[in-house]
Each structure stands twice: as C-alpha cells, then as structure tokens.
Amino acid sequence: MRSITGCLALSLLSVIQPVCASAGTVNFVYLSPSDKAYREDYNSAIETAVSDLTGWLAANLDGHRLNTSEVVWRQTENPAAYYRGDGSDPADQYQFWNYVLQDAFETTGGRFYDPENVWIYYIDADPNPGQTVGGGAGVALMPANELRGLAGEPLVPIDPGDSTDNTGFDRGVGVLGHELGHALGLPHPPGSPGGVFDYSLMYYGYLNFPNTYLRDVEKEHLLASGFFSDPAPVPLPLSGWMLSAGLLSLFWLRRPVGPSVRKLAHVSMKRIHVSNSEC
Ligand SMILES: [Zn+2]
C-alpha cells in the first residue's frame, strides 16, 4: 500500500491552495479500462464510501454537507496496461496520472481547477512502482488497489515489499477523504512527519479513519470552497410540533368569527403585496 510520500506531488505544497467559492459539485466516477468489466460491488463500495465520508465531514463541519453527484460509471478507450506504460515515457512517474486523466476528462468533461466541479476518479487499473496517484488541482485519481480495498479483496503489490493484505474499508474511506482534501486545495499539515498534526486526516490520520480530525484552518478552507451546503434546518421535535399545534388551535377557538377575521386577512394580503413589490 502506498505510503504518505506516494501522495501526488501536486499535493506536497506548503500552503493551502485557493479554491473559488461557488455552488460546486464533487463528482465521483468509476472507470473501467476497455479490457475490464463493470463490477457492481466496486460501484456500490464507492457509493458507501462517499456516504460514509459525507457523514464524517458533516459531523466535523457543523452539519455542512459536501455537494456530491451520484457515482457515474464509464468504460475508457484503452486497456489497463496502457495507462502505466512500459517505462519508455520520459515522464514515466506521471504517465499513469497523465494517461488516465486524459481519457477520464474526455469521457466526463472533467478538467483541472474547475470552480464548479471537483472530479474524483477510481480506475480499475494498476500503476507501475513509483508512479503518481492521489489528489490535487481539483482532481483525484484512485488506482485499482483502492477499489480492491473497499471491496474487501486482497491487494496487488505495486512497490517492492507491498503486502497483499486488505487494509479495510474504513482506511479506504480515509484515503478518499485525504485525496479529496488535496483536490480541494489542502496540503499536508506543517511539521509533518514528526509534527503535532501527524494524525490529522491530511497526514497519517487517514489510516485511522474515522478516528481522525481536520485542523481548524482546514475546516475554514473547506467551508469557503463552495463545495459544501449549509446545514439543513433542524426540525422541531415532535413534542414541539404538538405544543405549537395545540396553541394554534386554542388561538383559533378563542378568536371571534366576524369582521375582525376579515380585517386580519386584509392586512395579510396587504403585507404580501408590499412584500412582492419589494422583490
Ligand atoms: Zn497526501
């Protein structure tokens, strides 16, 4: 399994990157290369991971909800091996990143730094050792081991010494949250590794998801990103509704029927009229 240093180089920035505020949507896409079949278990695992992450974010952001799309599936134009290449590309470290995103953008309309859309791509393809995956610039790319991890399968070793042990669903959700953070402009925390924030979500904390946290400055950045909605209004508890209904019925029972009621209605209509004219 990749280490924290395997995170996308774009994410290794020392400052939080600005994201334009607007009513943005985070789009989740499951990509199958041309030689891989669609898998319902992968698709539903992504859906559950998104749901879990959205709930965790809301709990850590005072009820603000991440704006998400339904998980979309697309078959790409090329087989899985095409994306990692044969090592002949001078930019081999970024070949997987570049080749996958080229096809992914073409089939979904995605792009970097889109103020209205963040794109999270899962692809059923493995990179070569050392090739970049992760998040940054409004995009995240999750390779096949993330799908296997979410689906409870053994992993495929990529780098020397990698284990085939499945690392668990929650860790997969933590990885998703970490890379989404990078896609939304969050860097690794200052001082890590060895700093006081090592176990925040944006460093080793993804290993312990959901038992991790966001720093205050990260929360402020996420809430200003335009990709979160305000908390839903809190409904009155049942007892509150019953009390309100009871008081209302008492009020109407005590009101005289006659001109005063018509007068009240007139005032209300007038207020509506004034209010409309002000719009
Ligand atoms: Zn990272």
Residues 38 and 170 in one domain: yes
Cα 195 to ligand 1 centre (Å): 15
b/e per residue 220-230 (b: at least 16 CB within 10 A)? ebbeebbbbee
Last residue of a domain, one of 229, 247, 266: 229
Residues 11 and 137 in one domain: yes
Residue 212 to residues 60, 66, 80, 175: CA-CA distances in angstroms? 10, 18, 34, 12
Successive 10-residue mean pLDDT values, the chain, 279 residues? 45 46 87 98 98 98 96 98 87 93 98 97 96 97 98 95 94 98 97 95 97 98 96 68 51 41 33 30
Residues 35 and 134 in one domain: yes
Residues 209 and 244 in one domain: no
CA–CA distance, 71 with 30 (Å, rounded to integer):
7
Cα 134 to ligand 1 centre (Å): 7
Supply the pLDDT for residue 240.
Answer: 57
Residue 29 lies in domain: 4-229
Supply the pLDDT for residue 264.
Answer: 33
Cα 189 to ligand 1 centre (Å): 9
Supply the pLDDT for residue 233.
Answer: 76
DSSP readout, the chain?
---GGGS-GGG--SSPPP---SS-EEEEEEEE-TTS---HHHHHHHHHHHHHHHHHHHHHTTT-EE-BPPPEEEE-SS-HHHHH--S-STTHHHHHHHHHHHHHHHHH---TT-TTEEEEEEES-PPPTT---EEETTEEEE-HHHHHHHHTPPPPP-STT-------HHHHHHHHHHHHHHHTT--PPTT-SSSTTTTSTTTGGGGGTTS----HHHHHHHHTTT-EEPPPPPPPPHHHHHHHHHHHHHHHHHSPPSHHHHHHHHHHHHHHHHHHHH-
Residues 145 and 223 in one domain: yes
Q: Could you give the number of structural domains in the chain?
A: 2
Residues 125 and 143 in one domain: yes
Supply the pLDDT for residue 236.
Answer: 64
Residues 248 and 197 in one domain: no
Cα 270 to ligand 1 centre (Å): 59
Cα 50 to ligand 1 centre (Å): 18
Cα 9 to ligand 1 centre (Å): 9
Residues 194 and 259 in one domain: no
Task: Describe the crossing of helices 144-151 and 169-183 by its angle, rounded to 10 degrees.
Answer: 140
Residues 250 and 196 in one domain: no
Supply the pLDDT for residue 247.
Answer: 47
Residues 59 and 134 in one domain: yes
Residues 196 and 267 in one domain: no
CATH of the domain at 140: 3.40.390.10
